[in-house]
Amino acid sequence: MGLLSVGTLALDSVETPYAKRDRAIGGTNSFIALAASFFTKPVQLVSVIGGDFPESFLAELREREVDLEGVQVREDEKSFFWAGKYHDDMNGRDTLDTQLNVLADFDPVLPEGYKDTEFLMLGNLTPSVQMKVLEQMNDRPKLVALDTMNFWMDIMMDDLKALLTKVDILIVNDEEARQLAGERSLVKAAQAIVAMGVPYLIIKKGEHGALLFYGEQMFFAPALPLAEVFDPTGAGDTFAGGFMGYMASAPVINFETMKRAVIFGSALASFTCEDFGPDRLLEITRADVDMRAGQFLELVRFDLKQSLPE
């Protein structure tokens, strides 16, 4: 079916309690593209990079049939740059630096071949850019997902709220949901966000899993307990890419399909945490992903009835 994704292709400097890496591959679209490519082809990217973005990573994307026609290259400018430092428990992080660089005046232009794609991922990026992408589609895609973060809520809340009425599903983490809704309780926050006009909502809770809301229905997926979380950067984007990639490959769009998509997104996100940036995603195969999704089933499978010993 194919997926179109708009997001950042970035250079990240990340510090965790285990290690530090400067100007490595990052950006929402890097993770989304790799994750979605396990399920659907083509994955079409809309983004902008400077002359400093590594060609080797673009080659990795092309190898996975990721279409880069919608990626603008500005040779004389710098790519979007983000720096963050994780807390000792790896659950929280502080943003140390955000340099928009090429993103500051990014005007996305969709290639003709992108305008009829049926699944659209509006990856975390300036809300006005996300809106411009949606407006260039020929028809309303079958499913539109939106990711965002506190950075944009702080400076562009009105643009963000306008977008919420035009998408099918919002994917945010717990703190972002609380900030958007102005509610501490996640259930109340979910109700308030749905009232803003978005029918489906996913709230990611890091190592505590993810919640999917639709009307009165709720589904919970755990996160796979990992012995060592090496670098969680991009886990949220990997989740979103895996979720939407799976949806694009599925025959029907409904709550049941979304439950499976949440599990596949969670399985992929667990891989991302095992190494720096997208490194682990570059090593694994579809069989690894399926096997890990199976581990999620085992993790929560139990029998309500006591079975008697024979």
Q: Which residues bind ligand AMP (CB under 6 A)?
A: 8, 10, 12, 26-28, 82, 98, 124-125, 149, 151, 233-237
Q: How far is the CB of 145 from ligand AMP (least distance, A)?
A: 14
Q: Which amino acid is at 184?
A: R
Q: How far is the CB of 236 from ligand AMP (least distance, A)?
A: 3
Q: How far is the CB of 7 from ligand AMP (least distance, A)?
A: 7
Q: Which residues are paired to 20 by β-bridges? A: 15
Element (H, E) at 173: strand 169-173
For ligand AMP, give the closer residue by CB, 124 or 266.
124
Q: How far is the CB of 217 from ligand AMP (least distance, A)?
A: 25
Tokens of 68: 């880069």
Please give the DSSP secondary-structure letter assigned to residue 233: T
Q: How far is the CB of 233 from ligand AMP (least distance, A)?
A: 5
Neighbours of 259 (CB within 10 A): 14
Are 167 and 145 a contacting pair, CB within 8 Å? yes
For ligand AMP, give the closer residue by CB, 134 or 253.
134
Helices (H) and strands (E) in the chain, counts: 9, 13
- CA of 77: how far to CAs of 61, 80, 129, 184, 297, in Å? 22, 10, 19, 41, 47
Distance CA 97, CA 100 (A): 10
